[in-house]
Homo-oligomer: A and B are copies of this chain.
Amino acid sequence: MVSDDEFLEHYDPTDFDRPTVAVDVVVVTVVDGELRVLLTRRTEPPFDAMWALPGVIVGMDEPLDSAAERALQTKGGLAGTFLEQLFTFGAPQRDPRTRVISIAYYALVAPERLAAAAADTEGRLLASVRVPWAGEEVGPVEALDERGDALLLAFDHAEIIGATVRRLRGKLDYSNIGFELLPRRFSLRELQSVHETILGQTLNKDSFRRRIVQSGRVKATGQRETDRPYRPAELYEFVRRSRKVKS
């Protein structure tokens, strides 16, 4: 048997059959208390006419993060968003044509930006995500269109979106995920709504406010909401903090 090092040492690209490597990106936003992801409609087999995540094949000299950026741009019409590697999916039969190993990424975008990107192209859609499990469990999710009808998802993309939801739930507390899904200025109520949507459960308002304000990750701007038929809330800004400061 040939060792791996020998394999690589006497390596001729055309000698061996090797897997194709792709990246798929789960573009996430939160609108109206719903978690939404960007899907593109397939136009050929396999899974013709079904919905899929934007993805590209990784170039031979292309870093993985760059490939994910490229998928976001060319297939999603977006650039410069928060982007992070999620998990690598490599079941041998996940693509019926050939072995395709997909490195999944997720991107977080404020709804204003994403709605514009999704709307301007046919065959692109902002689907609502229904999560049929609670808390930190895992599993596939359902994607629904505006009318609430289930969309057919290609490949293992329902699993990939499910893994994204789980990751978001896990990292929400100690990361900046919540802020990435909001515009630069936001009210604490909006931030709480984003948290509740991701977690799939309501949160205690008082302790949420205390936690966020005391964490020091947020700064009051003095500005207030406008066009509210009731008392407008103060707007806050996210402030990056390298380290927790004791008072």
Determine if A21 and B19 form an interchain contact, defined as CB atoms under 8 angstroms apart.
yes
Determine if B44 and A20 form an interchain contact, defined as CB atoms under 8 angstroms apart.
no
Determine if A64 and B8 form an interchain contact, defined as CB atoms under 8 angstroms apart.
no
**Is the C-beta of A76 less than 8 angstroms from some C-beta in chain B?**
no
Choose among B21, B60, B61, B99 the residue that contacts A61 (Cβ–Cβ < 8 A). B99
Q: With contacts A13-B17, A19-B18, A58-B19 known, is A64 near B101, CB below 8 A? A: yes
**Is the C-beta of A55 less than 8 angstroms from some C-beta in chain B?**
yes
CA distance A43 to B136 in the complex (A): 44
Determine if B61 and A90 form an interchain contact, defined as CB atoms under 8 angstroms apart.
no
Determine if B90 and A7 form an interchain contact, defined as CB atoms under 8 angstroms apart.
no
Give residues of chain A (39-77) contacting chain B, Cβ–Cβ below 8 Å.
42-44, 55-58, 60-64
CA distance A62 to B7 in the complex (A): 17
Choose among B21, B61, B87, B98 the residue that contacts A85 (Cβ–Cβ < 8 A). B87
Q: With contacts A22-B4, A98-B11, A101-B21 known, is A64 near B44, CB below 8 A? A: no
Determine if A97 and B9 form an interchain contact, defined as CB atoms under 8 angstroms apart.
yes
Number of contact residues on A: which range applies? 35 or more
**Is the C-beta of A122 less than 8 angstroms from some C-beta in chain B?**
no
Choose among B13, B18, B42, B43 the residue that contacts A21 (Cβ–Cβ < 8 A). B18
- Provide the main secondary structure of the chain A interface: loop
Determine if A88 and B60 form an interchain contact, defined as CB atoms under 8 angstroms apart.
no
Q: With contacts A8-B97, A9-B97 known, is A61 near B18, CB below 8 A? A: no
In the complex formed, the residue of B with least CB distance to A87 is B85
CA distance A31 to B18 in the complex (A): 39
Q: Please, which residues of chain B bring their CB within 8 A of the CB of A58?
A: 19, 90, 101
CA distance A19 to B56 in the complex (A): 14
CA distance A188 to B165 in the complex (A): 34
* Best-buried of A19, A44, A91, A100 by chain B (most CB within 10 Å): A19
**Is the C-beta of A92 less than 8 angstroms from some C-beta in chain B?**
yes
The contact sample of 12 A-B pairs, CB cut-off 8 A, is A8-B20, A8-B98, A8-B100, A13-B17, A13-B98, A17-B60, A18-B20, A21-B101, A60-B99, A64-B88, A85-B87, A85-B88
